[in-house]
Each structure stands twice: as C-alpha cells, then as structure tokens.
Amino acid sequence: MAKLATVDTTAGRTVFTKDLSAPDPVPEEGIEAALGLMRDGRLFRYGEDRSGLPEAALFEEEFARTLGVRYAVGLNSGGCALFVALKAAGVAPGDTVLVNAFTLAPVPGAIAHAGAVPVLVEITPSYVIDLDDLERKAAASGARVLLLSYMRGHLPDMDRVLELCRRLDLTLIEDCAHTMGATWDGRLSGTFGKAACFSAQTFKHINAGEGGILATDDPDLAAKAVLLSGSYMLYAQHKARPELEVFERHKYSTPNCSMRMSNLVGALLRPQLATLEERIARWRRIHGRLAAHFAEIAHITVPPRPAKEAFVPSSIQFSVTGLSAEEIRAFLEDCERHGVHIKWFGTPEPVGFTSTPAHWRYLPVTPDLPASDAVFRGLCDIRLPPSLTDEDCDALAAVLRQSMHAVTGSRS
C-alpha cells in the first residue's frame, strides 16, 4: 500500500496523497442483499402479485426505530425529501419559507420546487442561523415555516429555536443531511420539528450513492409523504406508516410525484445503520485531532462548539482571517498542489458544493446578507473520510501550515 503522505526533500514540503473524497465501502451484507435483489429482478419497491424482497420498507422501519420516531418514508434524494416535507406540511405556491443562508443549493432548490419563496436568514461566525435575524425576518415576512439546515453538521441553540418556533407559530422542518446521529442536549437531531429530512448521498453518513429519508411523528404528514413519493395506492406495503384510514383522508387530493426509494437503495443502507455509531466515533476523533492542529496555524480559526452539541463531523470547517481574497486563493492553490483539496465559500463563482446565496439568481429578490457575506469570505471546508488515520491528519495539517507560511511568510 502506498504511503499516505510523503516529503518532497527538494522543497522540504509535505505532500498529502490520500483521496479526501473516498467513502467507506458498503458492508458486505449490503452488497449481498443488493446482488440478491438483482438476481430476483424486483428492484421496484412495490409488488402487485407478490411483494418480493421489501428492502425499502424494512429500511424505513429500521430507520424510524433508530431515530425513535413513528414514521419514515424513503425518497430518491435528500433534496426530494425536503420538497416532499414542505408540500406535506402544507406549503403552497407563493408561500414564504425561512431558511438559513449557509446551506447547500438543494435546500433553496426544494423551496423553489414547491413554488414557494425562500426568505434567507443571516448566519453567525459559528456558521449557524442567526436567531435574532430569524425573529426579525419571521415578523417582516409573515412566513410560517422554518426550513432549518444544519449545514455541515452545525446545530444552533435548539432550546432557543424551539422557543422561537412556539412564540412565532413557526412550523419547523429539519434538514439533517449532515447531522445523522448528532444530538443537542442528548436529543437526536431530526426529533425537534414536524418533519426531518436525511440524505443517503455518498458523502453523507450512510451511503447508497443517492437517497433520502423523511421522518416524522405526524400521521397525516407521513401519509401525504408516502402518497407524494409515488406509492400507486400500494401504501399498505409500507411498514413504518400510519394506519390505513389516515391515507383515506388524502389519497384523492395528493399527487404522485414519483420520488420513491428503490429496493436496491434500501438494501445497501440497512446494514449501515448498525455501523453508524462506530463511524461517528471515527469522525469525531479525526475532527478533534485536526481542530487541535488548525488552532496552531496562523490566520486559521475553528469556531468552538456548544457544550450541548454532540456533532457528527463528516467534514471540518474553518475561517481564514486577516488575508485578502487573493492571498486566500493563493493559500488554497498551494494546498491543492500539495494534495489537499479545500472548498472555499468565498469564491466568486460556484464550484462543486460551495454555492452561496449570491449564486442563486433564480431568487425573486437579490438577498442582502452582509453578516453572512463576511463569514463566507473566509469560510473553508475539508471533507473527512472516516478512514483517515492520526498520521493522515498530521500530514494534512502540515500541508495547511506550510502553505499558509508560503503565502504569508513572516506574517504567519
């Protein structure tokens, strides 16, 4: 096996050689279940003459049990789960939906897909929603729904979020794409709102390439979500579902949007639930080691996390301070040349997974977000594959330290 980091003896520089986009492999149990499905041929989750292997329904049942909620609905992506949650919660075309400015493009995309209008809320230097601005924007917009994105795994003060939602009569929908297994004061993310949405895209905490899950304790919302997902009136084949009479209230008024999870995705995901805690422990160890290293590098700041938050860090975020945009770009390019790819939310053009509100030009109004823009200017992100060793972390941090010195010289 090749070494994960080497030293260029000519330049005296560390070169990191591990792929930071490499996920864990799918467990053998999931591979065997997927092969069984392919041999059987029944990849579609519903059966007419016989049900076949109900992997999607079993996954939903096991996911609901793991999260501690009554209902779970499998979708074909996390973004579609958000759209379905909004529609099932009653969001109609023209409605306004509050959402924090630091999030991935599918989040405002889901709001637009529902025909609604995003009302963007500022973020703080800790990368979470600014709850004072939320209160102001809720009053000014008249919005009745908050789509709260725990972007990159950062939980805000959930005690105050719930207090604001109660006082302002806001329906809370949680975007938990980056917080599967995270808790606030011992309570799992995804259990605070009317509905929660999770992702099974390759770079999330469980991996089927693509997939989404909607979780809720609300029977009517769950029934509408199943119908919206595209059940062809075969909703009785779901296991983590409401009673059948609940579907009778909605089956003639809810469209089939054809966004359901396939059996193949369910088969790949089921065994990963059992190993989630072990992967979370690895991510936390990796993040802790890197955060300690980064704290010693000039011009790099990693915001502290609240004591009540037990986060799941599948990536690490930091802010570059005291440098011009040109110097930040030079720093990132030097890191890239030495094997460390860093995403930068301050880039003028959207690249990969780094779009910001300035890039969402389909919005009806150009957002004025001075506080968020100030955070985005220096906000950087590195993906953390759970296979990183202590030695890998040390080498990665060495690249950042050396690149920062190469750009800033005596200032570092």
Identify the pLDDT of residue 365: 85
* Tokens 């422990």, residue located: 281
Q: Which candidate, 338, 285, 354, places its Cα nearest to that of 105?
A: 354
Decide if pLDDT at 129 tops 70: yes
Q: Average pLDDT of 299-309?
A: 97
Query: What sign results for the dihedral spanned by CA atoms 358, 360, 362, 364?
Result: negative
Identify the pLDDT of residue 2: 43
Segment 46-59, tens digit of pLDDT: 987 665 679 999 99
Q: Whole-number mean pLDDT of the chain?
A: 94
Q: Average pLDDT of 223-251?
A: 97
Q: What is the maximum span of the chain, computed from C-alpha positions, in angstroms?
A: 74
Confidence of residue 412 (pLDDT cuts 50, 70, 90): low
Which residues are CB-neighbours of 56 under 8 A, at least 6 positions away? 45, 74, 260, 261, 262, 263, 265, 266
Structural domains in the chain?
A: 5-24+276-411 (3.90.1150.10), 28-274 (3.40.640.10)
**Amino acid identity, residue 192?**
F
Segment 352-391, tens digit of pLDDT: 788 899 999 999 888 899 999 999 999 999 999 999 999 9
Identify the pLDDT of residue 1: 38
Which residues are CB-neighbours of 72 under 8 A, at least 6 positions away? 60, 61, 63, 64, 213, 214, 215, 240
Q: Average pLDDT of 338-359?
A: 90
Percentage, residues of the chain above pLDDT 70 = 96
Segment 185-222, tens digit of pLDDT: 999 999 999 999 999 999 999 999 999 999 999 999 99
Burial class of residue 226, CB neighbours in 10 A (0-12, 13-18, 19+)? buried
286: left (phi over 0), alpha (psi -120 to 50) or beta: alpha
Sheet with 171-175: list strands edge to edge. Answer: 71-75, 212-216, 195-199, 171-175, 145-149, 96-100, 117-121
Segment 137-190, tens digit of pLDDT: 999 999 999 999 999 999 999 999 999 999 999 999 999 999 999 999 999 999
**Amino acid identity, residue 100?**
N
The helix (H) or strand (E) run that includes residue 310 is strand 309-310
Decide if pLDDT at 28 tops 90: yes
Identify the pLDDT of residue 11: 72
Lowest mean pLDDT among 5-9, 39-43, 154-158: 5-9
* Residue 130, SS3 per DSSP: coil
Q: Which two tokens stand for residue 355?
A: 């779009």
Q: Are 74 and 60 in contact (CB under 8 A)?
A: yes
